[in-house]
Structure 1
Amino acid sequence: MTFPAGTVSGRSTVLTAPPLDDGGYGVVTEETPFHPLDHTWPDQPGDIGFLQVNDIEQRVVDCLTGGMPVGGDGGIAVEDAGWMPGEGVLLLGDDIPARRGDAGWHWLVVHVVERAVPVQAEVELVVNAERRRAFSAGHTACHLMALSLNAALASRWREGAPRTDGLGHPDFDTLAIMSSRIVPHGSRDVYRIGRSLQEDGFTAEGLAEALPEITARLNSLLAGWIAVDAPVRIDVPSPELSARRIWHCELPGGTAEIPCGGTHLRRSGELSSIIADLELSPEGDELVVETKAAEVE
């Protein structure tokens, strides 16, 4: 995989292209610039684009994570030295009974196309770069929002929070997150403010009344982080899809690190604004954050 570095094109060899139950074919290549949807934490959608084989162009209408149990029947396998024919059954989405990275599985990027592609063919892979960048902007804004939310809520924690983020604030984002969905130039994040969070030391009392002040503090921090044009990078320890990739951002006060399988901008200053809107449920047990970002023109 080459997408963590921001790559949007490449050339590779088709290893398998089985028909899919819902129609179309699932093309697996030796290497790819396409980012797949993660079946375990489906925050950033898979890339779309096209692949070209024998001068014939095919649309890639989706890109998914595939799982293959080691030692199954039929299909393909992945060896330490590279991809090669072997044993295994290719599963997708909800059919995978394991989390990405679990032992006993090979993890694959599956390009969904509409027509069959010959195995061992050399293909050109091209990602829709404009769409990718819009999601990268949204994902970077989402992480910056999470860090600023941690800072804006820091005073609501009693001493001894179970964990802190890279800037030294209690990590509300990690401890309370229920779901995160990356959208073009933004995200929607839902946090659970339940009994366990309060037992960990979070003070929920008076949160509704304090929300305007918290929102103002959060957005002020975001504006400052854009202004310093902070460097962003993805640490990729190995080329496997299952590798634990880490997002880094060098912000005032420290270097923030967040595990992340998505794609990102290279600097916070590539955004002209990030605005987060916070809404607490009537019961006070869920906090929804809608984040919208704009790129520098």
Structure 2
Amino acid sequence: MTEPTTPFLNDSTLVSFPSGALDAVATVRHAVALTDRYGLICDATPFHPEDHTWPDQPGDQGTVEGGGRAFEVLDSVIAAAHRSTGEVRVAGDIPVRRGDPDWSWHVLHVVADDPRALLGREVRLSVDPERRAGLSAGHTGCELVGPALNAALRDRWRKEAGLDSLGAPDFDKIAIVSSRIGLHHSVDRYRMGKSLRRKGFTADGLAEALGDLEAQVNVLLAEWVAADVPVLVRTEGPSIADVRRFSCEVGQGPVTALCGGTHVATTGELGRVVARLELADGGQELVLSTSTGGAAT
């Protein structure tokens, strides 16, 4: 928990990263003292923050410049401010779900030095473009590999299950326990225990079938990359609190998913996407590693 340094505005931070923005001019509205660093909040930002509820894509890094000074942004995270008290909570210390009407939502830029001299000043925010590009590629590959995996596993369901946007049982959504995006790669982990079996999924013979399943996934990924179709982030509003969705029209139909991250502009920008499947934890966990472009596979 942090104490407010100034009266807090009730409007959530406006964000431009869904459109791919890397730079913006904004006004500093708030600063907070963290354990060993500081947090800076502006009325608008191009920085993508790590989501505290599903921390898949790391926050952007870059710089904030103003008042004759430059601050290195070490990380970007979500913060929430109580509309009545001005109390600010950061990341895992946020006590409510996003959308709670008593709180506003913000991008907190983490810096090493005290930024309070910038309060009320206009600043320029600049995102590290190479890191953003690598994370965007990794996240787009991750969003595409999910439905490709669902298609490969569709015959392993013995009961009706929720479907993905392409009409296959949504193994990716039902079984996933963690997802982590890196520069040009991602790692998704799926639990295949009793709960999944009760839902109708059979893992019998999965170890022997991994090679064929991996090949099926990679055939679809190669097709989608070669098609070089647009990748869009559709938003329901301009603030960090508004819903955002990944959208990409492939040959089999629309790939859509709730997604707050950043992405490349077209599938062709990925160069290639390669997936690897392996079993862990005595066969109770399926690990899906995805690489894009020139990343190691």
**For 1:65, what is the secondary structure of its paired residue?**
strand
User: 2:70 maps to which residue?
Assistant: 57
Distance 1:272 1:128 in 2: 21
User: 2:80 maps to which residue?
Assistant: 67
User: 2:285 maps to which residue?
Assistant: 286
> Does the Cα contact within 8 Å between 1:137 and 1:295 map onto a contact in 2?
no
AA paired with 1:201?
G
1:58-111 superposed Cα distances (whole Å, 9 cap, x missing partner): 111111100123322xxxxxxxxxxxxxxx211112211233334432111001
* Comparing 282-291 and 98-107, the one that deviates more: 98-107
The share of aligned pairs that are identical, in percent, is 46
> Does the Cα contact within 8 Å between 1:40 and 1:100 map onto a contact in 2?
no
Q: Report runs of 4+ in structure 1 exceeding 4 Å deviation.
A: none
1:141-195 superposed Cα distances (whole Å, 9 cap, x missing partner): 001111100111111112411x111111110000001000000001011001122
* Comparing 55-64 and 256-265, the one that deviates more: 55-64
The one of 40, 60, 74 equivalent to 2:53 is: 40
**For 1:138, what is the secondary structure of its paired residue?**
helix
The one of 3, 7, 12 equivalent to 2:21 is: 7
Distance 2:100 2:210 in 1: 39
User: 2:9 maps to which residue?
Assistant: none
AA paired with 2:277?
L
Provide closer, same or farther for how the CA distance between residues 29 and 141 of structure 1 changes in structure 2, counting only shifts above 3 A: same
Counterpart mapping for 1:268-279 below 5 A: 268-279=267-278
User: 1:258 maps to which residue?
Assistant: 257
1:114-141 superposed Cα distances (whole Å, 9 cap, x missing partner): 2233210100000001100100000000
Distance 1:278 1:247 in 2: 24
Distance 1:186 1:102 in 2: 33
User: 2:103 maps to which residue?
Assistant: 105
Structure 2 regions of 5+ residues with no counterpart?
1-14
> Does the Cα contact within 8 Å between 2:245 and 2:259 map onto a contact in 1?
yes
User: 2:169 maps to which residue?
Assistant: 170
TM-score by structure 2 length? 0.91
User: 2:189 maps to which residue?
Assistant: 190
The answer to whether the aligner puts 1:89 opposite 2:87 as a matched pair is yes
> Does the Cα contact within 8 Å between 2:159 and 2:201 map onto a contact in 1?
no
The one of 6, 22, 26 equivalent to 2:39 is: 26
> Does the Cα contact within 8 Å between 1:270 and 1:295 map onto a contact in 2?
no
AA paired with 1:230?
V
Structure 1 residue 295 displacement after superposition = 6.1
Distance 1:295 1:252 in 2: 25
1:218-252 superposed Cα distances (whole Å, 9 cap, x missing partner): 11111111111121101111112121111001011
Structure 1 regions of 5+ residues with no counterpart?
73-87
User: 1:17 maps to which residue?
Assistant: 31
AA paired with 1:27?
L
Structure 1 residue 34 displacement after superposition = 0.3
AA paired with 2:73?
V
* Comparing 124-133 and 12-21, the one that deviates more: 12-21
Distance 1:98 1:27 in 2: 21
Distance 1:43 1:254 in 2: 25
> Does the Cα contact within 8 Å between 2:144 and 2:255 map onto a contact in 1?
no
Provide closer, same or farther for how the CA distance between residues 35 and 104 of structure 1 changes in structure 2, counting only shifts above 3 A: same
Structure 1 residue 272 displacement after superposition = 1.4
Structure 1 residue 22 displacement after superposition = 2.4
Distance 1:99 1:267 in 2: 32
Q: For the aligned residues, what is the CA RMSD? A: 1.4
Distance 2:91 2:198 in 1: 34
> Does the Cα contact within 8 Å between 2:159 and 2:199 map onto a contact in 1?
no
Distance 2:210 2:121 in 1: 56
Distance 1:69 1:121 in 2: 23
Structure 1 residue 21 displacement after superposition = 1.9
* Comparing 279-288 and 253-262, the one that deviates more: 279-288
AA paired with 1:239?
P
User: 1:145 maps to which residue?
Assistant: 145
